[in-house]
Amino acid sequence: MVEEKAEAPVEETAADEKVDAPKAEAKKEEKTVETTAEADTDFDWDSLEEGRDAYSKKERGSLENLYNDTLNTVTEKEVLEGTVISLTKREVVVDIGYKSDGIVSLNEFRYNPELKVGDKVDVYIESLEDKKGQMILSHKKARATRSWERVNESLENDEIIKGYIKCRTKGGMIVDVFGIEAFLPGSQIDVKPIRDYDIYVGKSMEFKVVKINHEYRNVVVSHKALIEAELEQQKKEIIAKLEKGQVLEGTVKNVTSYGVFMDLGGVDGLIHITDLSWGRISHPSEIVELDQKLNVVILDFDDDKKRIALGLKQLTPHPWDNLDSELKVGDKVKGKVVVIADYGAFVEIAPGVEGLIHVSEMSWSQHLRSAQDFLSVGDEVEAAILTLDRDERKMSLGIKQLKEDPWSKIDTEYAVGSKHAAKVRNFTNFGVFVEITEGVDGLIHISDLSWTKKIKHPSEFTAIGEEIEVVVLDIDKDNRRLSLGHKQLEENPWDVFETIFTADSIHEGTVVELLDKGAVIALPYGVEGFATPRHLVKEDGTSVKQDEKLDFKVIEFNKSAKRIIVSHSRIFEDVKRAAEGEQRKAQKGNTKRAMKSVSENVEKTTLGDVSDLAALKKQMEKDEKKDK
């Protein structure tokens, strides 16, 4: 305060006059008391000069009370109304009726450049006395506190308040209400959808406080609430007159993916997308546009008449009623695919008139696939009418009927014994399903795939989608099935194998698979044989190994069963057995020759010779036993 007096003595003088105003009043009152006292007794000037108290304790107490009553009793953190008594470049001096004046930063009044001495302002007491003995006030905090109290009062009393729209934000606007930033949702600006928020920025409007979050000190306001109250009565009058079938004029209020909202003069109704046009549409915007005026018919409403269903297409005749009366089953029609699903496609042959082509009527093929494999939305197609029900307004169509049924000439074009190229469609454990041409399917049994290979599953022989040569073995016209074969394209090699793999013939083979019951042996010409464990022992006593190449002897050939049994052990066993037989045969011949010689000379022998021959015979018998 001392510094401010040095900078602006004129202002401080005025300020001093203002600050001392309460004191002047007190002195005035004091003089009044003195005058009254003088009327009763003379003033004691001698006591005043000597410094003695001229008043009794009672009188002085009365005067102090009279003076204190002229001052306000204030506390910190309190909001009071004060009077501006002085303005400087940086501060505002405010009198709140206390024994000293308070200081407020001039920055807190930037919103009010017209502030002047004598204006009433709200202040918040931050401190009754700082280090310099000065009382510190805040106008900003006082405004915030007052504003928050005012906003709460507005919500409690359902008051209409004024606010200033400062700017846009996500989902709505920011509104200044009593100095507080409140949120105005886009849906609460007006009863009609707002397409341009910017036109509201900078405007002052009336609002109602609809929600306060005390924890986060958030305020939500609404302008729509004011309008709705006015429209409610008007709405009741309109709804009371509504009837089903009534035709009204309305304005397109909003367009969504599922329908159109119409303003019927204060009451909203919905035209569902299916009630906009007899034909199929992808989006309502194909038919209507915003703010367009249309005549609509009331289809239905609930008991409270709050939800109103409207129709637009109902104002025009149904297309089925205008369908050519000469059209009949078997006729050909053209149209465009408008909807497609796995089970079929809907074709629009005229606006609002559709027929269904089931996937089974798209091809003569027995392999039912998805309709997307044949058609796409937007395709122009020609089809035959299969069924036509004008009462139910239903029609079924077919495409395959425009082509000749391939089974009508099956006996000539796919006769038994004819050869064809087919496409593999599916596998089973017992065979392969193939398609020769569209609508002509057949089965190749697993036993008819190969003359030589033992196939456990068809996937070992071919793959789905591959082409395979086939020959027709049999025709089942009733079930539209062909029995096909692949191995029949070649002569039966087992007729030749019968002459090659004769019993006891020896062939080189490779052990391709070892099993518990034996081994599979790959023989020449792509033929496989089988050997039991007993026949897999080598000459050195060990067993054969995987992928080992050895000689094998055929011990059994079965043409009908296409089975060849071979043995490796039998080769060296038969050789050994043959050698032993030759040895025994030679020994037997030697014995016979010796006995013959003895017989011829028996008559010529002497007694000593007989003894020698007996000994020789005994020795020969002994040797023969040893050989055995």
pLDDT single digits (tens) 107-132: 888 777 888 888 888 888 887 777 77
* Mean pLDDT across 444-451: 82
Do 268 and 332 belong together in one domain?
Answer: no
Residue 329's pLDDT is 86
* Mean pLDDT across 383-411: 83
Do 14 and 67 belong together in one domain?
Answer: yes
* Mean pLDDT across 519-524: 88
Do 18 and 78 belong together in one domain?
Answer: yes
Domain membership flag for residue 232: no
| Band of pLDDT at residue 272, cut at 50, 70 and 90 | very high
- Cβ atoms of 246 and 267 within 8 Å: the answer is no
Domain membership flag for residue 144: no
Domain membership flag for residue 557: yes
Which of 532, 552, 567 is the last residue in one of the domains?
567
Give the whole-number percent of the chain exceeding pLDDT 70.
79
Whether 515 has a pLDDT exceeding 50, the answer reads: yes
Helix (H, G, I), strand (E, B) or coil at 104: strand
Domain membership flag for residue 51: yes
Whether 265 has a pLDDT exceeding 50, the answer reads: yes
Residue 613's pLDDT is 58
Do 38 and 72 belong together in one domain?
Answer: yes
* Mean pLDDT across 417-428: 85
Residue 616's pLDDT is 65
Whether 286 has a pLDDT exceeding 60, the answer reads: yes
Do 35 and 124 belong together in one domain?
Answer: yes
* Mean pLDDT across 246-270: 87
Do 72 and 192 belong together in one domain?
Answer: no
Residue 10's pLDDT is 36
CATH number at residue 310: 2.40.50.140
Which of 534, 567, 600 is the last residue in one of the domains?
567
Domain membership flag for residue 106: yes
Where does residue 546 fall: left (phi above 0), alpha (psi -120 to 50 degrees), or beta otherwise?
Answer: beta
Do 48 and 126 belong together in one domain?
Answer: yes
| pTM score | 0.40
Q: Which residue has the higher pLDDT, 192 or 431?
A: 431
What the block records as the tokens of 406 is 């391939």
Residue 315's pLDDT is 86
Where does residue 480 fall: left (phi above 0), alpha (psi -120 to 50 degrees), or beta otherwise?
Answer: left
Averaged pLDDT of the chain: 78
pLDDT single digits (tens) 200-256: 888 888 888 888 888 877 889 888 888 777 777 677 777 777 788 888 888 898 899
Domain membership flag for residue 235: no
3-state DSSP percent of the chain in helix, strand and coil, to 5: 35, 35, 35
Where does residue 128 fall: left (phi above 0), alpha (psi -120 to 50 degrees), or beta otherwise?
Answer: alpha
Whether 166 has a pLDDT exceeding 80, the answer reads: yes
Q: Which residue has the higher pLDDT, 147 or 615?
A: 147
* Contact residues for 587 (Cβ-Cβ < 8 A; gap 6+): 624, 627
CA–CA separation, 210 and 187 (whole Å): 13
Helix axis angle for 607-627 and 569-601, nearest 10°, is: 170
Domain membership flag for residue 171: yes
Whether 611 has a pLDDT exceeding 70, the answer reads: no
Give the whole-number percent of the chain exceeding pLDDT 90.
2
Whether 17 has a pLDDT exceeding 60, the answer reads: no
Which of 540, 567, 594 is the last residue in one of the domains?
567
pLDDT single digits (tens) 48-75: 565 555 666 676 666 666 655 554 566 6
Whether 510 has a pLDDT exceeding 70, the answer reads: yes
Residue 24's pLDDT is 44
Number of domains into which the chain is organized? 7
Q: Which residue has the higher pLDDT, 292 or 191?
A: 292
Do 267 and 310 belong together in one domain?
Answer: yes
* Mean pLDDT across 445-451: 81
Q: Torsions phi, psi of 334, nearest 5?
A: -120, 150
Domain membership flag for residue 49: yes
Do 454 and 369 belong together in one domain?
Answer: no
Do 8 and 77 belong together in one domain?
Answer: yes
Residues spanned by the domain of 609? 574-627
Residue 148's pLDDT is 83
Do 435 and 395 belong together in one domain?
Answer: no
Do 202 and 309 belong together in one domain?
Answer: no
Tell me how many degrees the CA angle 66-70-75 measures, rounded to the nearest 5.
Answer: 120
CA–CA separation, 37 and 598 (whole Å): 200
